[in-house]
Every structure is written in C-alpha cells, then in structure tokens.
Amino acid sequence: MPKLLAPPPPDSTLSPIAGNAGLPIIGLGLDYIRDPMGLLESRWERYGPVSWLSMAGKRWVTVMGPDGCQTVLQNKDRAFANGDGWSVLIGPFFHRGLMLLDGDEHLAHRRILQQAFTRERLSRYTEALHPAVEGALDGWHPRAGFAAYPALKELTLDLATSIFMGGAEGSSHQEMVEVNKAFIDCVQAATSVVRFPLPGTRWKRGIDGRARLEKFFRRYLPARRAGTGDDLFTTLCHIESEDGERFSDDDVINHMIFLLMAAHDTSTITLSTMMQYLGQYPEWQERCRRQSAALGTSTPSYDQLDELTDLDLVMKECMRLVPPVPVVSRRAVKDTEVLGRYIPRGSYVSVVVHFTHHMAEYWPDPEKFDPERFAPERREDKIHRYAWEPFGGGVHKCLGMHFAGAEIKTVMHHLLQRFDWQVDRGYRAPLNYTSLPYPSDGQPVDLRHRL
C-alpha cells in the first residue's frame, strides 16, 4: 500500500508525496540495480512524476520527467543543496570535489577551475590527447569478442593521468591498475547497503580506495607545485581567482580525485556505448569514418573536431540511451515543492535523468538508436529544455563537458581510422547499475585492423 511521505502544512494547497519503502534496510535498491527502467516506469504509472522510495538506507524523493528535473536542477529558490545530497552516497570518497560544494564556496571554486577549461587550454589538451591515444591503441590486439569496455577504461585512465596529471612518472603498470581499481571501489561504494567500514563491504573498499588515491596524488603534488606544465594538476596548483585566491594542497587533491573520476568513468561508458551501436549499425560507422577521414589529418585540432558532426550526433544519442550519470542527487535545505508536491526540509531528492531520456512523449520510439534525432531539422532535444540532460543543469552543470566531448571525439577518430568492428544487431549490453552503468560482460565487439 502506498504511504505518504509527510503532510504539508495545514494552510498549504500542496499535495503530499506518495510512495513505498520496499524491503527493510535495502529498500528498492536491488530492484533498481536489476532493472532501473522497469522500476521507474512502474513508479511513474503508479505515482506520477514525484514519489518517494527507500534506497541506500535513506528515503528518497524521486523526480522524473523534464518538468520536475528542471525545477530541481535550476533551483531558483535555492531550496536544494548538492553537497548534502551527494555526500550521503559518495561524500567520504570524493570529499570536497566540485560536485559536493554549494553556494558561495562552490562559485568561488568553480571560477578558479573554469580557468583550467578555457578554449585555449582545451585546444592544448586536445593536441596532447593524440599521442596518448595512439600509444594506448598500439597495445590493443583485435580479435573476435574483444572486450571493449575494460580496454577503453584503461585507455581513458591513461589519458586522464597524461592530460590531467602530465603523466605518472615512476608509477608501474601494476600501480596504475590499483589506482583504477581504487576509483572503481570509490564509485561502487555509493550503493553499499552496509555504510560502515566493515571488512569485506563495498563501503570499506571505498574508504581504502580513497586513501590509496590521496597517497598517489600527494606523491606528485610537490613536483606540480614547482612545475610549469600545461597539465591540469600543475594548472590547479598555480591558477588564481581575480581576487588572488589559490587552492590549498587539500583543495588540489580533492579536485584532482573528483575530476579524474569524472574524466575517465563517464567518458568510458559513452565510448563503450558508441562502439556497441556503431558496430550494430555499420552505415553509421562508415558515415563517421568518411567524415573523420575527410579532415585529412590523424591529429585534428580542437576546432576541427567540431566538423565531425555525424560523430557528434552518435555521441549525443548514446548519451541519451545510456546517460553516464543516470541519477543526480540533491537534498532539500528548506520546505519546498516540485510540481505541486510538498517536499519537507531535509528530504533527499533523486533527479532521474535516465527516465527522462526514454520518455516516448519527447523521444519517439525511445529505445531505437536514431542519431538523426539531434540533426538540425529534427532537434528532438529542443522539445523541452530538460529533455536531454546528460551533463545536468543549473549552476552545477558539468564544468568538463567540452573536454569530455573533445576526448570522446578524439578517441573515436583514432578508432575509426585504425579499426573496423561489428556487434550482433540483437545484442543488448547487460548494464550493471551498482554505481555508474557499465556492461558486465565487458562489451564484446568483433574488432579487426583496417586493411
């Protein structure tokens, strides 16, 4: 039976939020991990765009559809906090990363960080990406059933350490494997049922992973403080706000851990999804390859990447089908409302991007791979300002979205020129939603060198 979250004040015209808790302790967490869209569709049909459920030991107000998502993400009355929402999930692991800051502090840190993502710096990052991508792909061994996801994840971590850190001098391959695992453990700890550092739990692995990452970055901090490189790590050590404010050592470490997680985890799932669909739709693979070849260079500049319009359509459609961050967290810092429903102060709120991206009202035949949705003559994403929101919205919209686009296009440019690949048209990736989505079978593709 549905239950009401909390009654609105006696003089209010707002409606209470209905929902259900699910199983004791774990709530509906397993239902979400097994079949997120199945769970979300059933709640939409039963409760509408705003309901509540239990997950990760907390009650969450679940907001679905672009109207509700827009209300929370735009946050015009400043009723929702980022830090309080994300901290309950990933606070101990990505402490004081930009996504976990709010208000004036968030604005101050964002203004400093923006200097690391100017068009001039993005151009330099793109130039540095090419040799790093080429070197990583030299180590790929094409075959039938090639596991694309782990190969791409290793590649994007290599890119992140190369471009964001200026390299990881003195680190062995085994150490970088451990760093990659530390990131995975930190991300997966977000859905831990046991939220104490007990041995054998995801939460404990996340705590240990965070300690491993801090140790790794602090080892390189003195050299970056003294350096003059163009990498992000060195940049964060030296950039200042207009008022002369600079990041402390702890600030630099916190931002680096968060940014490297965001830079390689989210890009990996988008690249993996693109490889799947381009393998299933060879006509699109060839369209993208021809356009890539037409640039006449193996190392396109940041400006030249804008000419890869077909690849851009594919990238956007893949981010729609599998948004790298399917749910965004917030917490109400005062009594407020969404779509006429009363949300009491202290409520945890989940903005479900994933559901919006699959609503037939905005995306005809939403499960179909159709990059032309984003073509100028259609622009289905413009039907509603928040119909397509893989980078979030409002003041917390992803700061690295332009770098992500450049990185993904650069990697795909090299893949298209070097390889052909195929994926059975009937294949559906078994996505694991324990944390950020990833294909649990490694995303197999039949990969071969181009003749």
How far apart, in Å, are the Cα atoms of 13 and each of 8, 19, 334, 340? 8, 19, 17, 8
Binding residues for heme: 398
245: Cβ–Cβ under 8 A, 6 or more apart, which residues?
108, 112
- 80-81/327-332 β-pairing: antiparallel
Binding residues: 398
User: Could you give the 3-state DSSP secondary structure of residue 413?
Assistant: helix
Query: Residue 220 corresponds to which tokens in the numbers above?
Result: 């390189």
Q: How far apart are CA 89 and CA 350, in angstroms?
A: 11
Edge to edge, the sheet with strand 327-332 lists: 3-4, 18-19, 50-55, 58-63, 348-352, 327-332, 80-81
- In this structure, the chain runs to a length of 451
One-character DSSP codes across 60-91: EEEE-SHHHHHHHHH-TT--EEHHHHHHHHHT
User: Could you give the 3-state DSSP secondary structure of residue 262?
Assistant: helix
